[in-house]
Amino acid sequence: MISPAALAADPHNAIVQLVTVDERVRPTGPLSGVPVAVKDLIDVAGLPTRCGSAVLADAAPAREDAAVVAALRAAGAVVVAKTHTHEFAFGPTGDIAAEGTCRNPRDPQRITGGSSSGSAAAVAAGLVPLAVGTDTGCSVRTPAALCGVVGLKPALGALPTTGVFPLSESLDHIGLLGADVGIVASAFSALSGRWIDPSAPVAGTVVGRPTDPYWRVHDPEITAAVDRAADALGAAGALLREVRLPGIDEFAATYQVIVGVEAYTTHRRWLAQRSQDYQPATAARLQAAAGYTAADYVTAQRTRAALGAELSARMLAEGIDVLLLATTPVRATPIGARQVDAPDGTPVTVVPALLSLTLPFNLLGWPAVSVPAPAVAGLPIGIQLAAVRGGEQAVLAAGARILAG
């Protein structure tokens, strides 16, 4: 992990200057003195949780920390800020919120990705080495990819969501964003009580590369970056195989129904009483979700369970430990753009594209990480690893090896 001494050595780090404290009262623990930013979907005692929405403009300060924040403090971390979120976490772009757009530090005219937009931007800008977000379909990994930082979505339930405003209780995960794999591994170890060693060897790890049309990307540079990542893992002794995931399209299609119904259920009263306080795009998505029936929802959940079990069994039968693929099929798009022409000439609808390659792992509950592709010119590219087995240890060790080149 990054030590407090190393952080303090940077005289330009205003956050570190802010949290420098007398040694007699310096917090102790594995994250001692590390400044952390927290997505404004997550309760921090004494501060309001506004979720990026005017609906909660008058929210009272939270009475207590969310479970993950309390655990961070117990580990010695210092919470220094709450960060921008796409309104109620209901979107992958990060440019829809009562506070306005969150801008990408790599190019302020482009999106950060969302919904953990501010957490990714704060890390990418060097303001903090570690931030907390949530991930229901892409919301840690996509902004990590577009901003060029590390974003971990642990396994479903690995970190508690108590004290977090829900988007979809079936799929919500707490996630971590960091400047490098080491700080993310240290934070996850501290929060979960399970030691992660990102320097562990990857020799013998069986890495699957999905070949179904579903996983197509639209930028040749992204394809090339994933190929280089595969080469790096192969050079370290990992075994590369092409794999297919039958039924992936039908499986992924359950996501919109599940999230839509659960989000609408949370918001239906506010939406009926004060729809004008929502951003128009959020209100439209919630109102569209009202059209799903109970039968639609139950069918989606049953399909998710059946196909998820089949996909998991197939990967295990083929001996796959980790899947390697891109995090997003395109790089950061212009703020406000909802359709773009990709480098390969394909018209791309931005919102579903930014969710497409990540959401299957929320449906499956597998841990997944996005790491920035090394030595990329221009806008960052995210490389995604998802663990069939081996958990967070497997994906973080593989991610560290990719970053090492």
Q: Which residue has tokens 């570690």?
A: 130
**Bridge partners of residue 178, in order along the sequence:** 130, 150
**Active-site residue 139, yes or no?**
yes
Q: Which residues contact 258 (CB under 8 A, 6 or more apart)?
A: 168, 170, 171, 297, 300, 301, 304, 363
- Give the whole-angstrom CA distance, residue 25 versus residue 18: 15
Q: Which residue has tokens 């989606």?
A: 300
If we measure between CA atoms, which residue out of 66, 373, 51 comes closest to residue 223? 373
Q: From the candidates 53, 116, 119, 139, which is the catalytic residue?
A: 139
- Give the whole-angstrom CA distance, residue 351 versus residue 353: 5
Q: Which residues contact 311 (CB under 8 A, 6 or more apart)?
A: 245, 246, 247, 248, 251, 364
**Active-site residue 39, yes or no?**
yes
Amino acid at 295: A
Q: From the candidates 115, 116, 168, 189, which is the catalytic residue?
A: 115
**Neighbouring C-beta atoms of residue 234, cutoff 10 Å:** 13
- Give the whole-angstrom CA distance, residue 275 versus residue 283: 7
**Active-site residue 117, yes or no?**
no
Q: Which residues contact 224 (CB under 8 A, 6 or more apart)?
A: none
**Which residues form the catalytic set?**
39, 115, 139
